[in-house]
C-alpha cells in the first residue's frame, strides 16, 4: 500500500471519522476516493480515519517549500465542471447524493464546527466574527463596470453563465433576439390600480416543515434539510439552505426589475440550535410565501424546478439549464407582452422619482423596526424576565422572613402566604416574558426581515430602469445626428417602454401586497400583545384576591 507523510498538523474533530495527524508522521494510504479532498489512512498505532489530502504528500513526491501554512481542503472546481459537456455520462459509482456537485459553500447553513473555523480561519480574510449573522458574506457581487453598467448600475457577477451574457444593451439594441414560447410569455395588463402583472390564475401555497439533521461523507458534513410541500401536487421535496442560496442567486440574475425576497441570514455558529433552526424555517416560509404570491416569480421555470424535482438526473439537467439561461437581467424583457400604448416619459419619470423617495424612506424605517424587534425580543428574554424574577424573589424572601416570626418556615398566616404568592406570581410573569417573543416580536421581526430585503432591492431595479432611459436618450441624440436609423430608434423606444411597464407593474404589485400583508401582520402582533398583557393583569388580579379578608 502507498504511504504518505503529513506536511502539517491536523486535529480531527471529536465524534467524527476524522483522524488527527502530526507533521512528519508517516501514514498508510487506504482510500483516496472519499471525495471533496479527503483521504483515508492508518497511522503507526493502527488507528484509521480521514484527513485532508492537501495536508499530506506521497513519499515519492517532492515537498513544496512555497506553502508556509496549512491549506484548506481542496474545493470543487467549477471551471472543470463535467456538466459543461452535454454528452458527458457520470459514472454511477461516483454519485454520492444529488447535491454533491454543487459549488462549495465555505460556510454551512448551520455553521462550521469550532475545529473547522480554526482550521480555515487563516484562509478567510475579513470573515465575520463567530455568532454574528452575515447578510452579505461571500456574496457574488461584481462592481466592475461594463459598457452599459455606468448607466444601469451594479452588475451582478454570474459565475455560471456564459461570458456572452452582457448588460441590458443587448436587449435595448435588439442584438439578442430569442423566440419565447407562448407558454413562457408574461403579460402586463391595465386595471383600476394602473399597470399590473397578469394575475395568478391557479393560486397555490408551499409549506416549509420538518427540519431535520442529516449528514454525508461518513459524518464529515452535517446539515439541516427542510421539507417543502407544494399544494398543487402534495409531493414533498427535501432542500438544504445551500439549495435555497443557489435558487436565490439564479433569481437575482434573472429578474433585475423584480426584487427577490431575502433568505435568512447566514450563520457562522449555533449549529443544530433548535431555536435557530425554527427561526430559519419561519423565515424560509416567508420567502416561499412571497414567491408563491408573485405573478411572475411563482411561475418561473427555475422556481418550479426547485419545488417539484425529485429525480437526480432531471435535477442536474434543470440546474445546468438554469445556469446557462440567456434571458437574464434586462434580456428577460423579451418574455414580456405589454400594452401597445406608448408611455409618456414625463409621467414615468414622475412615478420613478416618487418611488425612489418612498423606498429610501421605507428602507430606513424597515431597518429600524427590524432592529427594534430584535432588541425587544432580547429584552423580554433577559432584562424584563430577570427584573420580574428579582421582584418575585424579593417578595418571596419577605414572606419567608414573616414566617420566621410565626415560629415556622411553613406559614399559617394568610398575609404571609399571600405575600409569598405575590413573589411566585412575579416569578411566573418572568417566565411569561421569556416565552412571549415567539408569539409577537419574533414574527414581527421575521416579517420586516422580508421587507428589509425586498425594499432594499428596489433601488437596483430603479437604477436599471434609469440606465435604460439614459440609453434611450443617447440613441435619440444619435438619431438627431443621423448616426442611427429612425427604425432602430423606434425599436429602442418600444423596448424602453417594455422595461418601464415592468417596473410600474412591480411597484404596483408591491403596493398591493404590502397593504394586505402589513395589515394582517400588525393585527396579529397587537392581538398577541393584548393577550400577553391581559394574562399579566389576570395573574396580578388573582394574586390581589389573596389579600382579601
Give per-residue pLDDT as tens, 496-511. Answer: 999 999 999 999 999 9
Do the first three CATH levels of 3-75 and 366-547 match, i.e. the same topology? no
Q: How far is CA 298 from CA 192, 229, 304, in A?
A: 23, 14, 8
Written out in words, the top-level CATH class of the domain with range 3-75 is mainly beta
At the fourth CATH level, the homologous superfamily of domain 366-547 is: Arfaptin homology (AH) domain/BAR domain (1.20.1270.60)
Q: How far is CA 169 from CA 147, 165, 173, 384, 496, in A?
A: 8, 11, 6, 57, 11
CB 261 within 8 A of CB 453: yes
Most confident of 10-14, 52-56, 140-144, 359-363: 359-363
Give domain limits for the chain: 3-75, 99-337, 366-547
Look at residue 220 in the predicted model and tell me its pLDDT.
63
CB 105 within 8 A of CB 242: yes
Q: Which three cell numbers stand for residue 84?
A: 459543461
Point out the least confidently predicted range of 57-66, 67-76, 157-166, 526-535.
157-166
Averaged pLDDT of the chain: 80
CB 440 within 8 A of CB 144: no
Look at residue 266 in the predicted model and tell me its pLDDT.
77
Instruction: Look up the pTM and report it.
Output: 0.70
Would you say residue 107 has pLDDT above 80? no
Look at residue 408 in the predicted model and tell me its pLDDT.
57
Assigned CATH topology for domain 99-337: PX Domain (3.30.1520)
pLDDT tens-place string over residues 272-311:
678 888 889 999 999 999 999 999 999 999 999 999 999 8
* Beta pairing, strands 56-58 & 3-6: antiparallel
Would you say residue 64 has pLDDT above 70? no
Amino acid at each position: 500500500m502507498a504511504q504518505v507523510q503529513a506536511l502539517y498538523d491536523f486535529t480531527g474533530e471529536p465524534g467524527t471519522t476524522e483522524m488527527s495527524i502530526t507533521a512528519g508522521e508517516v501514514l498508510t494510504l487506504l482510500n483516496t476516493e472519499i471525495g471533496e479532498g479527503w483521504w483515508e489512512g492508518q497511522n503507526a498505532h493502527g488507528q484509521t480515519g480521514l484527513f485532508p489530502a492537501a495536508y499530506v504528500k506521497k513519499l515519492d513526491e517532492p515537498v513544496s517549500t512555497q506553502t508556509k501554512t496549512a491549506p484548506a481542503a481542496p474545493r470543487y472546481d467549477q471551471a472543470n465542471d463535467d456538466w459543461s459537456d452535454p454528452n458527458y455520462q457520470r459514472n454511477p459509482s461516483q454519485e454520492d447524493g444529488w447535491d454533491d456537485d454543487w459549488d462549495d459553500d465555505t460556510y454551512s447553513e448551520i455553521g462550521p464546527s469550532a475545529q473547522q473555523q480554526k482550521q480555515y480561519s487563516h484562509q478567510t480574510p475579513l470573515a465575520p466574527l463567530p455568532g454574528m449573522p452575515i447578510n452579505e458574506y461571500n456574496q457574488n457581487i461584481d462592481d466592475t463596470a461594463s459598457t452599459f453598467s455606468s448607466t444601469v448600475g451594479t452588475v451582478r457577477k454570474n459565475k455560471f453563465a456564459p461570458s456572452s451574457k452582457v448588460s441590458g444593451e443587448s436587449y435595448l439594441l435588439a442584438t439578442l433576439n430569442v423566440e419565447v414560447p407562448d407558454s413562457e410569455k408574461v403579460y402586463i395588463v391595465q386595471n383600476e390600480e394602473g399597470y399590473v402583472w397578469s394575475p395568478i390564475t391557479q393560486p397555490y401555497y408551499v409549506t416549509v416543515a420538518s427540519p431535520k439533521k442529516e449528514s454525508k461523507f461518513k459524518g464529515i458534513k452535517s446539515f439541516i434539510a427542510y421539507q417543502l410541500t407544494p399544494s398543487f401536487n402534495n409531493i414533498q421535496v427535501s432542500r438544504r439552505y445551500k439549495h435555497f442560496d443557489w435558487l436565490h442567486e439564479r433569481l437575482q440574475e434573472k429578474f433585475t426589475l423584480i426584487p427577490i425576497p431575502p433568505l435568512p441570514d447566514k450563520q457562522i455558529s449555533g449549529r443544530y440550535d433548535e431555536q435557530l433552526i425554527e427561526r430559519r424555517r419561519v423565515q424560509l416560509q416567508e420567502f416561499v410565501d412571497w414567491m408563491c404570491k408573485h405573478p411572475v416569480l411563482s411561475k418561473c421555470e427555475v422556481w418550479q424546478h426547485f419545488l417539484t424535482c425529485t429525480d437526480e438526473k432531471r435535477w442536474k439537467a434543470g440546474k445546468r439549464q438554469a445556469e446557462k439561461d440567456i434571458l437574464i437581467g434586462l434580456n428577460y424583457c423579451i418574455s414580456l407582452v405589454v400594452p401597445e400604448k406608448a408611455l409618456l416619459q414625463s409621467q414615468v419619470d414622475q412615478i420613478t422619482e416618487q418611488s425612489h423617495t418612498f423606498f429610501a424612506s421605507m428602507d430606513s424605517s424597515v431597518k429600524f423596526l427590524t432592529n427594534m424587534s430584535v432588541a425587544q425580543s432580547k429584552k423580554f428574554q433577559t432584562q424584563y424576565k430577570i427584573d420580574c424574577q428579582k421582584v418575585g424573589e424579593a417578595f418571596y424572601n419577605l414572606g419567608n422572613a414573616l414566617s420566621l416570626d410565626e415560629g415556622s418556615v411553613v406559614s399559617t398566616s394568610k398575609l404571609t402566604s399571600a405575600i409569598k404568592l405575590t413573589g411566585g406570581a412575579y416569578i411566573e410573569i418572568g417566565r411569561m416574558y421569556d416565552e412571549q417573543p415567539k408569539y409577537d416580536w419574533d414574527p414581527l421581526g421575521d416579517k420586516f426581515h422580508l421587507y428589509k430585503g425586498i425594499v432594499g432591492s428596489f433601488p437596483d431595479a430603479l437604477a436599471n430602469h434609469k440606465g435604460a432611459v439614459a440609453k434611450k436618450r443617447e440613441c435619440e441624440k444619435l438619431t438627431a445626428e443621423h448616426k442611427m436609423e429612425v427604425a432602430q430608434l423606434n425599436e429602442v423606444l418600444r423596448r424602453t417602454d417594455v422595461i418601464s411597464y415592468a417596473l410600474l407593474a412591480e411597484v404596483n404589485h408591491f403596493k398591493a401586497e404590502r397593504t394586505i400583508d402589513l395589515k394582517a401582520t400588525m393585527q396579529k402582533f397587537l392581538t398577541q400583545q393584548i393577550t400577553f398583557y391581559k394574562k399579566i393583569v389576570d395573574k396580578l388580579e388573582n394574586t390581589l384576591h389573596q389579600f382579601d379578608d
